[in-house]
Amino acid sequence: MASLLDSLDRFRLLKDREAAREVFRPEEPPHISLLRLADAGQLSGGLTVSFGVRADELVGPLTLAMGGAARRFKLVDVREQPRLELHILAGDVSERWEVEDLASFAHNLNDLYRTASDVRAIAVLGEWNDALQLLCVEKASLPRLLRERFFLPQNREVLERLTKRR
């Protein structure tokens, strides 16, 4: 069986194998090692987001990691009362989103760009060290990635639906 690092290399998700070896703990469950690698900044397309960060503060780094058409995503207005509301502009789409947390923001972005093949999907890996771990992955690799035992994203159902829309 291939190691987690080998699998991540195969999916082109590992930034620096030698640096990752220093963080990797083979005795841990693979999904925990994935969280540890994400937190250490060793995953290509990975983002570690502190709990105090709001969705409007995450727009730039997240849409950059998503790539493609998501790079042209615009935040037109932000309202804070009673819930965080974002007025977005993406191409000819103008919408208002009520955003409860960062995972719901990732859900909205995945839905907005569900048919855009040049935009990576956002996987919500989970929490580690008081931060949310996100991973932007190529939609073409999602079907294979979802079969891996180390890949247990919290938004698995959303990612599975994205593979069916291709």
Q: Are 28 and 150 in contact (CB under 8 A)?
A: no
134 pairs with which residues across the strands? Answer: 47, 124
Across the chain, mean pLDDT equals 93
Looking at residue 109, its pLDDT comes to 97
The sheet that has 121-127: what strands, in order across it? Answer: 46-50, 131-137, 121-127
Confidence of residue 1 (pLDDT cuts 50, 70, 90): very low
Whether the per-residue pLDDT at 80 is higher than 90: the answer is: no
**Residue 137: how many other CB atoms lie within 10 Å:** 25
Looking at residue 165, its pLDDT comes to 62
pTM: 0.93
CB burial of 40-49 (b: ≥16 within 10 Å; e: otherwise) equals: bebbebbbbb
Cα(68)–Cα(139) distance, rounded to whole angstroms?
A: 12
Whether the per-residue pLDDT at 166 is higher than 70: the answer is: no
Confidence of residue 55 (pLDDT cuts 50, 70, 90): very high
Residue range 86-138, pLDDT digits in tens: 999 998 999 999 998 999 999 999 999 999 999 999 999 999 999 999 999 99
